[in-house]
Amino acid sequence: MKVLLLLVITALCWGDVFEVINIARSGMSVQQKKLEVIAENVANLSTAKTSDGQIYKQKQVIVKTNKENNTPYVSGVEERTDTVQKLYDPSNPESDDEGYVYVVDNSLSTELVNMALTRRLYEANAAVFNSAKQAAQTIMNLGK
């Protein structure tokens, strides 16, 4: 009877533990992608135009949740158009026919705050992952 009860508890917990591990792993992947995009935004803070002549636009990660297993995933990376600022500077060689220059209204402090928050979220997912891994090891040792 004791062994049967132990097997039932193990079976019930096992699936939950692996679901938690999968969600935490997906969360870490999402936060890693966010950190990559933030790093790109920081690297291009002073970039006026890209190599193809277009204005550099700040990027953001679009995250969605898989409804079947509740795991987050990156559905894409979008350029933000709301961060482009129009400045009047007719002496600038990059200005248009009307004398306007288009620059990204993006600050280092905003990106650093985003980076710190994203790093904390990554660390939280890693802590959940490690706790679930320890729980799985405990479940495996129940029968010993």
SS (H, E, C) 25-65: HHHHHHHHHHHHHHHHHHHCCCCCECCCCCECCCEEEEEEE
DSSP, res 55:
B
Digit-coded pLDDT (tens) for 7-49: 444 444 556 778 888 888 999 999 999 999 999 999 888 776 7
Q: Is the pLDDT of residue 116 over 90?
A: yes
**Is the pTM of the predicted complex or chain greater than 0.75?**
yes
Strand partners, 142: none
Q: How far is CA 4 from the centre of its chain?
A: 43
Q: Is the pLDDT of residue 117 over 50?
A: yes
